[in-house]
Amino acid sequence: AKKAGPGTVCFFEQADDRSSRERKALRADLAGAIARNELFLVFQPFLDLGTNRITGFEALLRWHHPSRGLVPPSEFIPVAEETGLIHEIGEWVIRRACATLADWPEDIRVAVNFSAAQFHNTAILQTIVQALAEARIAPHRLEIEITESMLLSKYGSAATVLNALLELGVTLALDDFGTGFSSLTYLRKLPFSRIKIDQSFIRDMLVQPDCAAIVKSVISLARDLRIGAVAEGVETADQLEYLRQISCDEVQGYLISRPVAADGVMALLETKKYR
Ligand code: C2E
Ligand code: CA
Ligand code: CA
Ligand code: CA
């Protein structure tokens, strides 16, 4: 792209201007999104391959923008992080997830995604304690998903919040495993309950033998560490069959279910196939 003519450069400048204008607009709109009730959660199940039962759901945030329609989290989470709105949004997600979990069977967990910035504000602790108490939920039913990249910077200050959460009994999952640079270091530092193998590995494992080797080793690593292995982004029956053969604990992906609204959760749980 750098070798292209001056016209191309001009194109990029325009695209940059447009995206910075868009970001400003999104930023302004996001500030009022909670008050206007535009945020909601959808839930995607984890399926245990040993028992063929649903063991829990990951809460995924959605923003229904009044004029843009559904804005994906990949677009608005970065804006929330930049502006600091992530704190308010993160607290909303925790409260909403716990309140929803209160209606589900006791053997079902909910997993919530956290941004790095959220660990640098201890107020989240109080929110979690309160949300668990109000919904009368055993802390181990709440799982926090963190990525290794988010712990890279300022691990020290994140550790305060992380350790308090662990003391409370909340569990931790290492998300997008394999995509960062220091996964193994964090496995040593923190008592994760689960490793989530990034969907890029699952996508390629049946076409690239090297990729299958990596997935197999991560599953055996998890077994040796006595923690769970979850495969993300399972889309085909062949992928599921292979993961079963290599004894992956849990799977998640469009093959089992797309993320569903809260009222779709009970319907999924009552599906004979999964109970
Ligand atoms: P993630 O935590 O890795 O979530 C998995 C993403 O993969 C979700 O996208 C999910 O809808 C999608 N997915 C699930 N199964 C499949 C599949 O079989 N095939 C494919 N191609 N994709 C699948 P989504 O909901 O758009 O979320 C994107 C990212 O946004 C999440 O990645 C997470 O990092 C972030 N995110 C979502 N909700 C929250 C939140 O409440 N707080 C924070 N901080 N981040 C969030
Ligand atoms: Ca996640
Ligand atoms: Ca993930
Ligand atoms: Ca991801």
Q: What is the pLDDT of residues 21-48, one digit of tens each?
A: 888 899 999 999 999 999 999 999 999 9
Helix (H, G, I), strand (E, B) or coil at 111: strand
Q: What is the ipTM of this complex?
A: 0.98
> Between vectors from CA 198 to CA 250 and to CA 157, what angle results, nearest 5°?
100
Q: Is the pLDDT of residue 125 over 80?
A: yes
Helix and strand numbers, DSSP H then E, in the chain: 11, 10
**Residue with CA nearest ligand 1 atom 21:** 233
Residue 8 confidence (pLDDT) above 50: no
User: Taking Cα atoms as reference points, which of 191, 76, 215 lies closest to residue 140?
Assistant: 191
Ligand nearest to the backbone CA of 61: 1
Type of residue numbered 13: E
Which atom of ligand 1 is least distant from the CA of 176?
3
Ligand 1 pocket mutation pick from 113, 239, 254 by most atoms within 8 angstroms of CB: 113
pLDDT score, position 186: 84
d(CA 202, CA 216): 11
- Flag the least confident range among 137-146, 186-195, 248-257: 186-195
Count of C-beta atoms within a 10 Å radius of residue 15: 10
Ligand 1: distance of its center to the CA of 78 in Å?
A: 13
The structure's pTM equals 0.93
How far, in Å, is the centroid of ligand 3 from the Cα of 175?
A: 5
Model confidence at 99: pLDDT above 80 = yes
Burial of 105 (0-12, 13-18, 19+ CB in 10 A): exposed
Among candidates 273, 211, 219, 221, which has minimal Cα distance to 249? 219
Ligand 1 site residues, Cβ closer than 6 angstroms: 44, 60-61, 72-74, 77, 93, 113-115, 145, 175-176, 199, 233-235, 253-254, 259
pLDDT > 80? residue 11: no
45/253 Cα distance (integer angstroms)? 8
The rounded distance, in Å, linking the Cα atoms of 202 and 139 is 30
Confidence of residue 2 (pLDDT cuts 50, 70, 90): very low
Closest atom, ligand 1, to C-alpha of 145: 2
